[in-house]
A and B are shown apart, each in its own frame.
Chain A
């Protein structure tokens, strides 16, 4: 293990040294730039002016353009249409036979917070000690050099919401571009949502643990559950009061000054409904509980997990609460569930008019399978166009970043995937990838190991 890592490092240094040379040599064709086999990047590929032409453009927000162009300049999509004038000096990418899609978005990950979950605790930063950690911020702990990041993006996923997972209040999630040498470079929204594991009847929070906490008696179980909820409620109320006291002091310095409390401080935007609160909840009782609790506390809720969300569809619609579905590839929860119950989840929510996105729910390593989840949902009822939206525009809307991401429109961030076919199909290959307007090499730990060994005779 150690040996191979050192070798990798030495190799990387050599490659880093070659980057400026490659950039110098590269004027019009960006093929060499994109072919640069460096999965870890100390120097980001520069933004520039690019025109992808003669391609099929799947804008997602509007009609497909069968033969059109996209102009990318300084990180943004500047123009898109059947005809786009290429500015002088633009890099031209011939797109004949290719399709351009917006980058895919997965809102259910812990990308960058864990490298090897079993047997390497030192690489696990998902779960803090204790039940209430609103100030545990994914933003400060995301490892930009995690091998998972390049592995994920070369399959077309350009953005993830990266969430902590522990306790009852897990912490704050960061919404990131899967490119960058620091969390700051990666962050689209550094503090995107508060994550709460809605207390589970009969066990700890959300999806995790709870065996030891499970009392044998139903009424005790319900009491324990209520006690956990009360812990969360109390902390949120404290944050409300704290926010009011701080505001009052700001308006009138003659009032008593409350000391800074960084934990409560971090909660203020969430208890005021300025930022969303994600509730991990899969079962009907928990989803209903989370909706009621969010009402009571005047929060802006999002449901994460949502296996049983279809049973709560009318309420979710009435409250306009979106769901991030992570269970498409999970086995049905109960023995008497229909075999396709979770395959059909997205389609049922769509029919009921509930806002939703599809997610892998994977910490990181297998987030690259996101298109397959959307495809499976489509095999079981969701239209192809909604399947695509459920991993592009819908998650962008749910996280309130649709002004920047989720479709191909002028003014949006240039997170684009150029493919030789339907982006959700497993047989399709990615040909070019742009994140934040930068042409990203299609290399990863996996392509590097493949290259290193495929010719061994």
Chain B
């Protein structure tokens, strides 16, 4: 909130400055081949390899081993003393979404986050600087069944269409608990509360939606069967954009990412999903997941969480940082996510917390932000580990990424550099000059006494998906 206000109150010059520090970085033609020499490589699937080279060619990892050779014209990076890690995958993000919650209805499966992507969101660049390359952009948690997700690679500087992760499984956001029953929305005279208002109503809302989806599917199945038999003069059923995604869920073609906190509501959704014959792909946040780890494992769901954010509201009071370890040991595929543009920049440390709280091994902890979220998004054949043939989405760190003293030097996506610390630093003097010039420009001069200052464009604050009720809170 503090940041949000400060952004609204920026002096007018800020709005005239270039919105991104390094928009141009990804743009120039880059060599099709890069060789990182003599680094420590955290492969994730094949252990940690020291004094090892990584060869990138045409956007893919072309070699991992000793003494690899690149063709002339390749970019060669000395990796001595450095660590190479797969690009971090954040399985719960709202970056680059210009709006997050369509909260007016309890079921909004007809809306898509893909329609509101803002590729100039500068927080994307800050996330690249934390070694993050892939985001699962989720709708907010205002309704039991929310909008559709978008999986992106952070190709900052490119048009939004180039961000889309080809082949990622389509998904949808569900939500349970305090947010969907709108616990933080005060009663207002003359304004009727939106249904549901209780955890009973949340279950009923989802049950009703899937009951309708099942009938809708039957209607279409019958129609298609008749059409296949050559029946003439058939009238096709009317398309229902709200129910189509739910049919895809029933058919196993769309992943459910379900925001939840309490153990009881997790069990409720598992039971409901089992009854309708679909799967929950990930429980998101899943703060009390440690209490029902075996049920989550038995259902085959993943869990995507953070180590912090306990006690900030009542349903978070029993959250503990040991959840990742407990659920991993129960056989659940676990990932650590950010749900925050701020936290997204240091997911390496969030993963390392699972070694501090609960004694996961380094390999298990590394998977929490690489291979495991890739599995949860259906992109594990493309990213999440350093293997020949996978996308060259990786970051070079100046020390072990689990050390608090380490930072990212360079971040690659599809073999191209999208963040480089030295380049960033080298451009600062020019940016300072540009800023000074812009400050002198007529529209940016301070207003005369009595005149209204120009308002800079307001920006959405970094927040958890449940911190904001658009249109209701500033």
Contact = CB atoms under 8 A, between A and B. Distances in A.
Given A217-B452, A375-B405, A331 B3 contact: yes
A329 interface: yes
B428 interface: yes
Residue among B322, B352, B431 facing the most chain A CB atoms (10 A cut-off): B322
A203 B5 contact: yes
Interface stretch (A179-187, A292-300, A335-343): A335-343
Contacts of B358: 450
B352 A426 contact: yes
Given A333-B3, A365-B312, A372 B349 contact: yes
B318 A4 contact: yes
B387 interface: no
B404 A378 contact: yes
B447 interface: yes
Nearest to B318: A449
A379 interface: yes
Interface of A is mostly: loop
Interface residues of A, number: 64
A148 interface: yes
Given A1-B314, A218-B452, A365-B310, A426 B349 contact: yes
Given A116-B317, A427-B352, A372 B452 contact: no
Given A202-B9, A214-B9, A428 B312 contact: no
B290 A450 contact: yes
Interface stretch (A64-72, A204-212, A234-242, A254-262): A204-212
B405 A369 contact: no
A339 B452 contact: no
Task: Classify the interface of chain B: helix, strand, loop or mixed.
Answer: loop
B314 A116 contact: yes
Contacts, number: 166
Contacts of B316: 116
Interface in A362-389: 364-366, 369, 371-372, 374-376, 378-380, 384
Given A283-B6, A333-B6, A426-B356, A456 B291 contact: yes
A365 B311 contact: yes
B7 interface: yes
Interface string B400-422: 00111111000000000000000
Contacts of A456: 291, 293-294
B150 to A, nearest CB: 22
A107 interface: no
A328 to B, nearest CB: 10
B178 interface: yes
B126 A331 contact: yes
A364 to B, nearest CB: 8
B123 interface: yes
A457 interface: yes
A425 interface: yes
Nearest to A285: B11
Interface stretch (B15-23, B97-105, B375-383): B15-23
B353 interface: yes
Contacts of B10: 334
Given A147-B311, A446-B310, 20 more contacts: A118-B184, A118-B313, A207-B2, A218-B447, A218-B451, A282-B2, A329-B342, A334-B7, A338-B21, A339-B126, A365-B311, A365-B312, A374-B404, A376-B346, A378-B405, A426-B356, A427-B355, A454-B322, A456-B291, A457-B294
25 contacts: A1-B317, A116-B316, A119-B313, A151-B310, A208-B1, A218-B447, A218-B449, A283-B6, A330-B3, A331-B3, A333-B6, A335-B20, A335-B459, A336-B19, A338-B428, A372-B349, A376-B346, A384-B405, A424-B404, A427-B352, A427-B356, A446-B322, A449-B320, A454-B329, A456-B291
Interface of A: 1, 4, 115-120, 147-148, 151, 200-203, 207-208, 210-211, 214, 216-219, 282-283, 329-336, 338-340, 364-366, 369, 371-372, 374-376, 378-380, 384, 424-429, 445-446, 449-450, 453-454, 456-457
Interface of B: 1-3, 5-7, 9-10, 14, 17-21, 122-123, 125-126, 129, 178, 183-184, 290-291, 293-294, 308-314, 316-318, 320-322, 326, 329, 341-342, 346, 349, 352-353, 355-358, 402-407, 424, 428, 431, 435, 446-447, 449-453, 459, 462, 474
